[in-house]
């Protein structure tokens, strides 16, 4: 799963992405008990996260969706 995300990120945002260790588990920690799981983050304006003021640029959301769809297709094709 991580390799598929890495490859998709590089295809859609060459040189603009990074792997980020995260202490956040969210649903991924439960899904990972049954199947491979990863989390994909997109930048929040001003770095604000988990707060009512959190916001993300539409173009970053769209890019994140493209990366996710690409990675899912790659992963599912094996």
Q: How many CB atoms lie within 10 A of CB 9?
A: 23
Domain assignment present for residue 64? The answer is: yes
Q: How far apart are CA 35 and CA 16, in angstroms?
A: 28
Nearest alpha carbon to residue 64 among 78, 44, 35:
44
Domain assignment present for residue 27? The answer is: no
Segments forming the whole domain that contains residue 6: 1-13+56-78
Domain assignment present for residue 5? The answer is: yes
Domain assignment present for residue 44? The answer is: no
Tens of pLDDT, residues 4-63: 999 999 999 999 999 988 777 778 888 889 988 888 999 999 999 889 999 999 999 999
The per-residue pLDDT for 77 is 94
Q: How far apart are CA 9 and CA 60, in angstroms?
A: 12
Domain assignment present for residue 23? The answer is: no
Give residue 1's pLDDT band: very low, low, confident or very high (50, 70, 90). Answer: confident
Asked if the model's pLDDT at residue 73 lies above 80, the reply is yes
Considering its fold, how many domains does the chain have in total? 1
- Residue 17 contacts by C-beta under 8 Å, 6 or more apart in sequence? 9, 10, 67
* Residue 45 CB-half CA count within 13 A: 9
The per-residue pLDDT for 26 is 76
Domain assignment present for residue 62? The answer is: yes
pTM attached to this predicted model: 0.86
């Amino acid at each position: 799963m991580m390799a598929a995300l890495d490859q998709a990120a590089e295809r859609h945002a060459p040189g603009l992405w990074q792997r980020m260790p995260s202490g956040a588990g969210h649903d991924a920690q439960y899904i990972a008990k049954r199947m491979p799981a990863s989390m994909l983050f997109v930048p929040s304006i001003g770095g604000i996260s988990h707060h009512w003021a959190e916001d993300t640029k539409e173009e970053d959301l769209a890019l994140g969706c493209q990366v996710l769809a690409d990675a899912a297709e790659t992963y599912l094709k094996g």
